[in-house]
Structure 1
Amino acid sequence: MHRITVVGGGFAGLTAAVTAAEAGAKVTVYEAHHTLGGRARTSEGPYRTNDGPHALYRGGPHWSWLAQRDLIGPLAPLPVREAARLRLRYRGVLRRTPPLAMLRLLRRGVGPAPVDADFLTWARGVAGEEGARAAAHYCAVALFHHDPGSLSAAFVQERLRRAAKLPPEARYPRGGWQGVVDRLAARAWNLGVRVETLSRVDTLPTDTPVVVATALDAARRLLNDPALTWPSGRTALVDLAVRTRRGDAFAVSDLDAPGWIERFAAQDRTLAPAGEQLIQGQVPIAPHESKADGVARAEDLLDL
């Protein structure tokens, strides 16, 4: 494969382009927008919001790949006092500590969960119904799924342990994800990757192998393959700017339903003007639900 075409200049497309170019291929990337990054883009202006989530988990596959190439860049540290300001919604009220039943799932003596059973069924035997559901909902921060309890027990258990780890695994690229995107793009250009922005691809080339790195709907149309579907996570994101108030929570995890809120200007004050904070609410939504449904639940949690 001496020449490779990549359709989509987001995080996945740039990763594919860099990997192929490192192996010696001549790569061309086509991006429909005028900027690269996809959902890893960061808005310009005084409020530096991301089109998608904003945390990078240390030890995950993205982290390892970026670290090998020195592309992570400067990170914004989370002050210890902020990390301690985690609040949990449980039975309709905010509290500082999780239910004791949920903590049973984090004990060292709990063995590995099975791959071929759903998390809720397995966790019930360890922590009971309420503890199992609370743990499943807590994992939404790392899964973006409307029903984490229905997923593989082994998969969710691994995410639960990482999400509850102290110190936290989450790391925050300073200034938002845009710096990571810019370093990825620079790495691609230095390897000779040809990048064509404002270039929407409607027909795939037939003379080179092609990597389709677009949203699923776009890929289905481009490949003319109606069968290209699979269950996946969908989430509604709400970004909100508020005036700084002493004592505000750093994060709120919804244990009554999947949902997460984080004051992500707490670790990086450059993301908002002085005296203000940026908060992101993330609420997974089911296939039959609309974005408006997710936004309404996020606003309900934000109000609390």
Structure 2
Amino acid sequence: MNQHITVVGGGLGGLVAAITAAEAGARVTLLEAHTHLGGRARSTSAPYVANEGPHVFYSDGPHWNWLASRGLVPANTLSLTAARGVRFRHSGRLHRLPPAGVLRAAARRALRAPSDHSFTEWGTRTLGARTTRQVAQMMGVVTFDADPGRLAADFVWSRFQRVTRPGPPAVRYVRGGWQTMVDNLAARVRALGVEVHTGTRAHELPESPVIVATSLAAARKLLGDDSLATEGGRTVMLDLGLRGRSGDAFLSFDHDEAGFLERYTCVDPTLAPAGESLVQAQLPLRDGESKTRGLERMRPFLDAALPSWEDRETWRRASVAEGRSGALDLPGATWRDRPAVNRGDGVYLVGDQVAAPGLLSEVTLASARQAATLAVKGQVTRETMAP
């Protein structure tokens, strides 16, 4: 076959799409507007190697094996020491266990939630009002929304069940930060003969078949399609370098404010200078709330999980992520109602806000593999039918 497929965007989705298409035998050209590949999967340079927000994989998903089988993700698993460092803030204080109602809810593995009611509406009837709010706030970690209870009940409940699944933790951390994985993906892309052009922005849609693996906003502009829009989270993110202190939490869930905090050096000490910790915290912003106000509201959470953190601070980075943290399904909608991967006429869409199943980055991986497979099959069909 002498197929040619163009991939627009060199982030996680674009790289995976390029690999999938090239492994199927297609000639692939990848266009990336920035000078470096990776997009939101890139990490900062040493000595503080921070991802853009909380980044993990779940080994119980189908895409982990796809990455691992190609040697693309050097991963750390949770140690017993790290697992013991999980904390839960509720009623203004830090605890070793979540609220009792949350524990009872986590045990209800057979319970299924509808998609046509909000989580608050369904949960209040099923779990009780207090437990419903506590479960919803805990899911700020995967929704990046200040009021997860307003979202579709099935959307919130399925994610809660995924995060609280029994058995050994399925969470996997990429050693050296996600930049290590980006470098591995880029090396695989080039080894497959993909023609990579960085610093090259696509101002017009290339000839099909083309895979658009950009943000939804950029895809909307490139395709001239105003329908490419969906609900997304908005959160303030804070990265901190801290001098080490015995007793700092590893993971902290904030049942009071829907925040989340993670000390990455607990599983990968190489991410910060010796004797220091790299901490990432995020707090979903309310409507109209500024970054400054969000950081102020985050302070009690930081004080509880990381005592004297301001006196120990050695490095800081704060930012607001909007439309960069996956789609949110409102009542009456499911992931199938998001913008479709197949846009017709040989155009395919990739990203964490499109119509593909999964949790956060899994949506990107699912849509990337699906888009590449459709692009290859679509061109084979067109060439076979040509006179």
In the superposition, the TM-score normalised over structure 2's length comes to: 0.73
Displacement after TM superposition at 1:293 (Å): 4.2
2:377 corresponds to: none
1:233 corresponds to: 233
2:50 corresponds to: 49
1:131 corresponds to: 131
Tell which deviates more after alignment, 146-155 or 29-38. 146-155
1:89 corresponds to: 89
Structure 1 runs of 4+ off > 6 angstroms?
Answer: none
Task: Provide closer, same or farther for how the CA distance between residues 146 and 64 of structure 1 changes in structure 2, counting only shifts above 3 A.
Answer: farther
1:20 equivalenced with 2:42 (yes/no): no
2:273 corresponds to: 273
2:66 corresponds to: 65
Deviation string for 1:139-171 (max 9, x for gaps)? Answer: 222232333222232232221122123432211
Task: Provide closer, same or farther for how the CA distance between residues 148 and 61 of structure 1 changes in structure 2, counting only shifts above 3 A.
Answer: farther
Letter in 1 for 2:128: G
2-side partners of 1:109 and 1:246: how far apart? 35
2:210 corresponds to: 210
2-side partners of 1:61 and 1:151: how far apart? 25
Tell which deviates more after alignment, 32-41 or 91-100. 91-100
Displacement after TM superposition at 1:284 (Å): 2.3
Q: Counterpart of 1:242 in 2: which secondary structure?
A: strand
Task: Provide closer, same or farther for how the CA distance between residues 295 and 121 of structure 1 changes in structure 2, counting only shifts above 3 A.
Answer: same
Q: Counterpart of 2:157 in 1: which secondary structure?
A: helix
1-side partners of 2:298 and 2:151: how far apart? 23
1-side partners of 2:266 and 2:98: how far apart? 22
Q: How does 1:289-300 map to 2 (within 5 A)?
A: 289-300=289-300
User: Which blocks of at least 5 consecutive residues in structure 1 are unaligned?
Assistant: none
1:183 corresponds to: 184
* Residues 102 and 127, structure 1, Cα contact 8 Å, conserved in 2: no
1-side partners of 2:287 and 2:220: how far apart? 17
Tell which deviates more after alignment, 17-26 or 159-168. 159-168
1-side partners of 2:112 and 2:176: how far apart? 38
Letter in 2 for 1:44: S
Displacement after TM superposition at 1:191 (Å): 1.6
1:2 corresponds to: 3
Displacement after TM superposition at 1:236 (Å): 2.3
2:197 corresponds to: 196
Task: Provide closer, same or farther for how the CA distance between residues 220 and 296 of structure 1 changes in structure 2, counting only shifts above 3 A.
Answer: farther
Tell which deviates more after alignment, 261-270 or 163-172. 163-172
Displacement after TM superposition at 1:288 (Å): 4.0
Task: Provide closer, same or farther for how the CA distance between residues 287 and 7 of structure 1 changes in structure 2, counting only shifts above 3 A.
Answer: farther
2-side partners of 1:6 and 1:286: how far apart? 36
Aligned residues: 302
1-side partners of 2:215 and 2:292: how far apart? 20
Deviation string for 1:69-123 (max 9, x for gaps)? Answer: 3322x22233212211222111222222222122221124652222332222222
Letter in 1 for 2:225: D
2-side partners of 1:43 and 1:202: how far apart? 28
Displacement after TM superposition at 1:57 (Å): 1.5
1:103 corresponds to: 103
2-side partners of 1:65 and 1:125: how far apart? 40
Q: Counterpart of 1:196 in 2: which secondary structure?
A: strand
Tell which deviates more after alignment, 121-130 or 28-37. 121-130
1:117 corresponds to: 117
2-side partners of 1:103 and 1:254: how far apart? 15
2-side partners of 1:196 and 1:49: how far apart? 26
* Residues 142 and 163, structure 1, Cα contact 8 Å, conserved in 2: no
Q: Counterpart of 1:265 in 2: which secondary structure?
A: helix
Task: Provide closer, same or farther for how the CA distance between residues 291 and 23 of structure 1 changes in structure 2, counting only shifts above 3 A.
Answer: farther
* Residues 7 and 29, structure 1, Cα contact 8 Å, conserved in 2: yes
2:78 corresponds to: 78
1:256 equivalenced with 2:238 (yes/no): no
2-side partners of 1:80 and 1:294: how far apart? 33
Deviation string for 1:229-250 (max 9, x for gaps)? Answer: 1102233221001110011111
User: Which blocks of at least 5 consecutive residues in structure 2 are unaligned?
Assistant: 305-387
2-side partners of 1:152 and 1:59: how far apart? 23
Tell which deviates more after alignment, 107-116 or 82-91. 107-116
* Residues 53 and 282, structure 2, Cα contact 8 Å, conserved in 1: no
Displacement after TM superposition at 1:46 (Å): 0.7
